[in-house]
Every structure is written in structure tokens, then in C-alpha cells.
Chain A
Amino acid sequence: MAFFLAQFLTGLANAAALFLVASGLSLIFGVTRIVNFAHGSFYMLGAFIGIYLMEILPGHVGFWAAILLTGVAVGLIGAITEIIVLRPIYKAPELFQLVATFGVILVIQDLALMIWGAEDKLGPRAPGLRGVWRIFGEPVPKYDIVLIAITPFILFALWYLITKTRLGVLVRAATQDREMVGALGVNQAWLFTGVFALGSALAGLGGALQLPKGGADLLMDFNIIGEVFVVVVIGGMGSLPGAFIAAVIISVLNVFGVTYLPQSTLVLMYVVMAVVLIVRPYGILGREEVAGEHGQVGAPEQPIRPYGRTGILAVTLFIAVLALVPLFAEQFVMTLIVDMIVFALFAASLHFILGSGGLVSFGHAAFFGGGAYAAALLVFHTGTPMELAFLFAPLAAGMLALAIGWFCIRLTGVYFAMLTLAFSQLVWSLAFQWRGVTRGDDGLVGIWPSDWLNAPAPFYYFTLILGVGGIVFLRHVIHSPFGYALRAGRDSPRQAEAMGIDVKRVQYAAFVLAGVMAGLAGGIFVFSKGSVFPTVLEIAESFDALIVVFLGGVKTLAGGVVGAGFMTGVEDWLVRLEYWRLLLGLVIIAVVILMPEGIVGTLRTLWRRMRNDDEEVVK
């Protein structure tokens, strides 16, 4: 019993930092509608800056002053980031900004590496709070008790700020209708910057506050971001008490999980999140998201046109050139192109549900990796011939999409995104922790194609036919009546329903189709590499696909494919350099700021302008 209590107290203490970081993210999302992937990076900065300040500020006062100063410093960094990176792109399509925040992650990672080096740093102990107190005979670190004691004050301070001050009133008003707040004389730009700075400061505080229990390392950003998203979603977007409750649940669960179910620690919180979202789709204390209530005025949607004769000719020529590559190119060129095609098909399948269906999935890697693993497991365990195992990849991914989609499709917007993320993490942790079947992070190796394909040129053609075929097929679907129904459901679900379209069912079907296509890409992938590792199921893999789709241009058809080509090319060229993350991050941020419609979208707009196609519709 006493041990139980001690465990519980550790969980509560861990909740303090988690709650701080999560409330910051929630605040930023509520007002700016930005899903800030870089929030974990601010947490990491808080840890490194905290250590630095604690070293130069001695004693009791120094320790706590260092924590507060860290908050201020990270808040300032957040403000600068917002002004430089996000301010120019608020008018871009919704969720586009998350690509920019992804660029920020990369930049901060390399900057942290440059400044603090690659070694993990141990956090300093809090002066005067080094030992333990015995509670019913069980040792509980003093610092834990202090954290538990101050968390309610933090919650109260934030609650007071949000409910009782003018700033809080403005923040809540802007969460609902920012344009109207502007029309009433409030400078939204500075309100946004202020909120972003405050949210970042909270992340920094969280990073500094956890130092005596942990430390600082370069993986902190990604490690916390998943947890923070889970907390915010379970608690309900924008709800502070919700974030607090969820932070406690997750932290306590983690502590007990480590003790009793060490094999399932990774998956536990995602299971909780999935259960909560299935029972309460908007989180414990969240409220329903109503589309369009935020006064966000986007440019009117451009209808997607099928390619004209020039377009088809250009694409045909391009494919013909690709078909001729093996005649003159070296092997590494073919390998690079195979990678590009695989990634392009994967991205195209995400682009299909995202662009035409309006469903932003944060967990699309589940189907890519799921397909890859399905084929690999068959080959590895049963020695199934490649031809059969390969067919199993899209099939299994489709089944997986059928199962995951059944839970996710009922949600919309960010909640849909988060539930897909939860399920993909489930799949990932299965692959990672079910060592008996998947061999964990040792991966499955020796998954080679049959002899007739086991050479660069034949496999190249195999990839070209299936990859291009898959992409062309998806395009056909978009221009079919099914595609019209899907787009109708995206643009106006109610109107579509009133016209007799079963929107959810159409979206479900599209989700499954996208899963099948991602699985196909996964199948090609595994036989091109001869192996598969859990990394193909990671969040980063899903995010890569998202970034590529947004970079290419959501509102265009070729966006996913062009984005994938661009990214594979740029990455191939950049990773040879030492600080390639920094450069890639800067490239991403630059593209986002300079081309807010994505690469294809911006080129299209330029093309139209050049041809003076911008004929005015006179009323």
C-alpha cells in the first residue's frame, strides 16, 4: 500500500512539468489554431538554458530564479520565432503552419547540438531538496513533494490569468472569433505573439522544472511532444483543468506502467487516449469544434481541373524519360528514383484523404509501415514467395485502415488527426515491443524479391509501373463521382448530406483506399530495401509525409508527388553536410513563407498570372 502511494506521488510529481508544457500547447492552439510541433523544442531549450543558468546562479534563490529566468528566455525565443516564421503565414490554409513549426524543430535541434554538444546532461539537484522524505516508510524524493505542492499554484495562476484578467478575456475571445477581436480595436498580431510567447515560456518552465528529476538531451523534443499532444487531446483542446487532469492520468499511468507492465509502457498512453476519444470525442473537458467559427477567412477553394492536353503530354513525356533511365543511369540513380517513387506514392495516398477528403491524418505511417511489416512477416516466418507476400501488403494495410478508420472517421479536425496518431503509435509500439514476432528494433531482414526481380533494372520497372499506376489510379478516383462526393463532404458536409451523400461512409471508404495505397508503397519499400525496422512506423515517418503534402500544395493534385520528389532530392543532397537539419529546416521555413500555397500551388498561380488567366467574374 505504501509502495503504491509512493508510486502515485512520483506520478503526480511528473505531472507538474507535463502539465506546464501541455497547457502552453493548448493555449497556443486555442488562440492561433496552430498545431505547434515545435513545442517540444521549446521544452528542450528550457532544459538546456535551465542547466546553464543554474550553473551561474548559486544557492536556493539562484536555483528558483534560474527556473523563472528560463521561462522568460524561452518565452522571448518563442516570440521571435512567432514573429519571423509564423506571422507571415497566418493567412495560409489551415494546418499549413505546422510545416513551418516542423522546420523550427529541425533548426532548434541543430542549434542545440552546436551550442551544447551531443552529450546528455544531468540536471543539477535542487539545493536543500536533495534527499528523500519517508512517507509510510517509503522514500519519496523531497523535490517530488515540492513539485506536487506547487502544481496547484501553477494551475491556479494560469486559471486566474485566463479567467480574470483582460489578457485572458481577449485570449478567449480570440479563440472564438479573432477577426471580430481585431475589428474591436485589438491588435491581433501582438495578441498572437504574446500568446505564443506565453505558451513557449510555459514549455521552457516545464523543461527547467524537471531538471532535478532528469536532465537535458537532444531527443527530449520528440520524446515529450507525443506525450504532450496526448495530454492536450485527452483533457480537451483549450481546457486548462482538462490538461491538468490528463497530465496526472498519463504521468501516474506511466509510473505504474513501468513497474507492472514494462513491455507496454510505450503503448499505454495511446491506448488511454484512444479509449477517451472513442467515449468522449472532444476529450474529457473539451467542447465540440464547430467548423468556421473562428472567423478565419481563407481564399475561396479553386476547383481542381483535370489536366489539359499539354499537361497530359508533359506527364507522359516525364514518365517516358523515367522509363528510359535504366538504359543510361548508374545503379544509385535508380535506387534514388525508386525511393522517390515509393515516397511519392505514400505521399499521394495521404494527399488523397487530406486534399480531397479534408481529413488530416497524423498517423498515415501506420499503413505504409503496416503494409511493409505484413509482407515482411509473411516472408520471414513462413517463407511465402515474394509475389504472394507482396500482394498481402496493400491487403493488410487496407484491413488495418478498415479497423482504425472505424474509430477515427467519426471525429473531425485536430481530434481526427490525434486519434490517427494514437493508433499509429499503437501499431508502432506493437512492432517495437512485440519482439517475439517482429524482432523489435532489430527489424526483419533478408526480405528480398524473387529472382526475376532481384536486379536493379527489373525492380526499377516494377516500382515504376506500380508506383505510377497507383498515383494515376488515385487521380482517376478524384475525378470520379466518388471523388466528387468526397470533395463535397469536405467543403460542405451538411449540404452534401442533404443531397443524399453519406459523408462519413464516403470518407471511410476513402480512408481505406488511402490505406491500401500506402500499404502498396510499403510493400514496394520493403522489397527494395530487403529489410524493415520499426522506424517506418514512427511519428516522424507520418510527419514526413504530411510535410511533403503541405510543401507540394494541399489544394493541388500533383502536390504530394512533387513535394515528395522535392524532399527526397533535397534530403539526398543535404544529409551529406554536417548541420543538414539546420539547412533543411531553413529550406522548409523558406518554402513555407515564400510559397504559402505550396510549390505546385504557387507555380500554378504564377502560371495563371503570366497567361493573364485571372478573368474577373463581374456580378
Chain B
Amino acid sequence: MLSVEGIHSYYGKAHILSDLSFEVRRGEVVALLGRNGAGKSTTMKSVMQLVRPRKGAVTFQGRDMVGEPAFRVAKCGIGYVPEDRRIFTDLTVLENLEVGRQPARKDAPHWTTEQLFEIFPNLSERRANRGKHMSGGEQQMLTIARTLMGNPALLLLDEPSEGIAPVIVEQMAATILRLKAEGLTVMISEQNLHFARAVADRAIIIEGGEKKFDGSFAELEAHPEIRDAYLSV
């Protein structure tokens, strides 16, 4: 579904991603693992074209995305949830969802606000509240719901478990599995190995912008040295 081939991404002159390649197949949940600064967020942004790779290809459902504006990538069916959430704090919950709304897509589950309120009951209670009056966990729920309003076929979740209470993290894991069951393909970036293992089918580990591991969690268990070298557990 998504294939990233040999991308190089930069911030100004700083070389962040170097020759990174991976694939995401329809219906799977892939976890992108790595330490702080390993390049996880940049990978997500490079797929989304918020950071433009200088070399390499990002192909989504047969279409090359490199150089497209971010809105077109979104319209092609990639939903992006940034790690810093970036909800519109002056807008109400319903208005935040409205910004994300896009027409239904054949190859992806279709969401209405009511369905999303069923998945995220906290949001339902606060639908008329402004974003700035919400807790971190609620804001995280809102960014995911907002992106789902675009009916994406592939969901990019950047560090969904970061900075939220443990109870909410569990809820988040359940939510991701639910989304998978609905037929959504998901890529999450994570530092939390336990969380990743609970939701994902496969792990990709990056360090210094290069891929170090790509395989199942069982394989990763079998090579504890990889885990020790690239993940802070």
C-alpha cells in the first residue's frame, strides 16, 4: 500500500533520513521504533510531504507522492496525526472534526461524528468545548478523531502514547486495535516497546535516520542485542 524507497530528508543542512526504505501492507499495523531523535517524526512527515525528501520515492497505492502538497497526500488517503497534536484550540471539538471532514472513499472505512463519538466517548461529552480546555489525553483523542474524519486508508500516528496518563494509553491501544479491525492500515511511531508490541504486527527500528531492523516482534525477541542497541528499554 505504501512503499518508501531510499529517501533522504533534511532540515536545512542537517541530514536527518538517509536511504530509508520500508513498506506498509494493507491491513497491517506497523510500529516505527527508535530513540528520541532517531528520525521517526521526520519519516512520518516525509511520507506526508510536510518535509520533502530530496531523494527517493514515496509511493502510495501506485502513486508517487514526492513533491505533492500535503493536502493532496491527505486527499489520496493518508491521514496524519502529529506528535504535538496541534488541535485548533480556539475551535470546539465539533469544529475541529469539521476541519478534518473529507468525502467518503471506496477503499477505506467511512466515519461519521457519531461513530467517532462512540469510539471516543470523552469527546462526545465535550463536543461543544473549545480545544484549549481539554486534557492531554482528550486532545490526543481529538487529533485522531479529526484525522479519521478524512476517511483515510492509511493512518500515520506519531507517538500516540507520549505524554498521556497510563490508563489512557491502554485505551489508546484498544482504539488502535479497533481501527485495525475496521480495516484501517496503521503506522505508529513509538518509543514504548510494550505499547508497540500490544498493537503492532511488525516493527521497524531506525537509528540516526537509517533502518536497523525490519521484522516481526518474535524476531526482535530473538535478538535482544538489537533491542539493547537501538531502543532505550
Task: List the interface of chain A (C-beta within 8 A of B).
Answer: 166, 169-170, 172-173, 175-177, 179-189, 295, 299-300, 614-619
Chain A residues near B208: list those with CB within 8 A.
619
Complex: A412 Cα to B50 Cα, angstroms: 29
Is B146 a contact of A184 with CB atoms below 8 Å? yes
With A176-B89, A176-B90, A179-B70: A184-B15 Cβ-Cβ less than 8 Å: no
| Residue B14 interfacial (CB < 8 Å) | yes
Chain B residues near A177: list those with CB within 8 A.
86, 88
Chain B residues near A619: list those with CB within 8 A.
14-16, 208-209
Task: List the interface of chain B (C-beta within 8 A of A).
Answer: 10-16, 48, 50, 69-72, 74-75, 80, 82, 86, 88-91, 95-96, 98-102, 146-147, 150, 208-209
Is B50 a contact of A169 with CB atoms below 8 Å? no
Can you show 23 pairs from A to B with CB atoms below 8 A apart?
A166-B98, A172-B90, A172-B91, A173-B91, A173-B95, A176-B88, A176-B91, A180-B82, A180-B86, A181-B99, A182-B69, A182-B74, A183-B70, A183-B80, A184-B74, A185-B71, A185-B75, A185-B100, A185-B102, A185-B150, A186-B99, A188-B69, A619-B209
Complex: A180 Cα to B90 Cα, angstroms: 14
Is A295 a contact of B69 with CB atoms below 8 Å? no
Is B98 a contact of A183 with CB atoms below 8 Å? no
Is B14 a contact of A617 with CB atoms below 8 Å? yes
Chain B residues near A617: list those with CB within 8 A.
13-15
Is A173 a contact of B88 with CB atoms below 8 Å? yes
Dominant SS among interface residues on chain B:
mixed
With A179-B50, A616-B13, A616-B15: A185-B90 Cβ-Cβ less than 8 Å: no
Is A170 a contact of B13 with CB atoms below 8 Å? no
Complex: A317 Cα to B14 Cα, angstroms: 38
Complex: A616 Cα to B72 Cα, angstroms: 30
Complex: A188 Cα to B69 Cα, angstroms: 10
Is A618 a contact of B15 with CB atoms below 8 Å? yes
Add 7 more A-B contacts to A183-B80, A187-B69, A187-B72 (CB < 8 A).
Answer: A169-B91, A169-B95, A184-B100, A189-B69, A616-B13, A617-B13, A619-B208
Is A183 a contact of B71 with CB atoms below 8 Å? yes
Q: How many whole Å from A242's CB to the nearest CB in chain B?
A: 15
Q: How many whole Å from B232's CB to the nearest CB in chain A?
A: 18
- CB-CB nearest 10 A-B residue pairs: A185-B74, A300-B12, A182-B70, A173-B99, A173-B88, A182-B71, A180-B86, A617-B13, A184-B100, A183-B70
Is A186 a contact of B14 with CB atoms below 8 Å? no
Tell which of B12, B50, B89, B90 touches A183, judged by Cβ atoms closer than 8 Å.
B50
Q: Which partner residue on chain B sits nearest A175 by CB separation?
A: B90
Tell which of B12, B98, B99 touches A299, judged by Cβ atoms closer than 8 Å.
B12
Chain A residues near B209: list those with CB within 8 A.
619
Complex: A531 Cα to B211 Cα, angstroms: 72
Q: Which partner residue on chain A sits nearest B89 by CB separation?
A: A176
Chain B residues near A183: list those with CB within 8 A.
48, 50, 70-71, 74, 80, 82
Is B91 a contact of A184 with CB atoms below 8 Å? no
Q: How many whole Å from B18's CB to the nearest CB in chain A?
A: 9
Is A169 a contact of B14 with CB atoms below 8 Å? no
Q: Which partner residue on chain B sits nearest A179 by CB separation?
A: B50
Chain A residues near B147: list those with CB within 8 A.
184
Q: How many whole Å from B53's CB to the nearest CB in chain A?
A: 15
Complex: A618 Cα to B50 Cα, angstroms: 21
Q: Which partner residue on chain A sits nearest B101 by CB separation?
A: A166
Chain B residues near A185: list those with CB within 8 A.
71, 74-75, 100, 102, 150
With A176-B88, A182-B69, A619-B208: A169-B98 Cβ-Cβ less than 8 Å: yes
Chain A residues near B69: list those with CB within 8 A.
182, 187-189
Chain A residues near B101: list those with CB within 8 A.
166
Chain A residues near B91: list those with CB within 8 A.
169, 172-173, 176
Is A187 a contact of B71 with CB atoms below 8 Å? yes
Q: Which partner residue on chain A sits nearest B88 by CB separation?
A: A173
Complex: A170 Cα to B80 Cα, angstroms: 17
With A295-B86, A614-B13, A619-B14: A169-B70 Cβ-Cβ less than 8 Å: no
Chain A residues near B88: list those with CB within 8 A.
172-173, 176-177, 180
Complex: A250 Cα to B85 Cα, angstroms: 41
Chain B residues near A180: list those with CB within 8 A.
82, 86, 88
Chain B residues near A188: list those with CB within 8 A.
69, 71
Most buried by A among B71, B72, B74: B71
Is B90 a contact of A169 with CB atoms below 8 Å? no
Is A184 a contact of B50 with CB atoms below 8 Å? no
Q: Which partner residue on chain B sits nearest A185 by CB separation?
A: B74
Chain A residues near B11: list those with CB within 8 A.
300
Complex: A189 Cα to B69 Cα, angstroms: 10
Complex: A179 Cα to B75 Cα, angstroms: 15
Q: How many whole Å from A90's CB to the nearest CB in chain B?
A: 12
Q: Which partner residue on chain B sits nearest A293 by CB separation?
A: B89
Is B99 a contact of A184 with CB atoms below 8 Å? yes
Q: How many whole Å from B86's CB to the nearest CB in chain A?
A: 5
Complex: A42 Cα to B208 Cα, angstroms: 52
Chain B residues near A186: list those with CB within 8 A.
71, 99
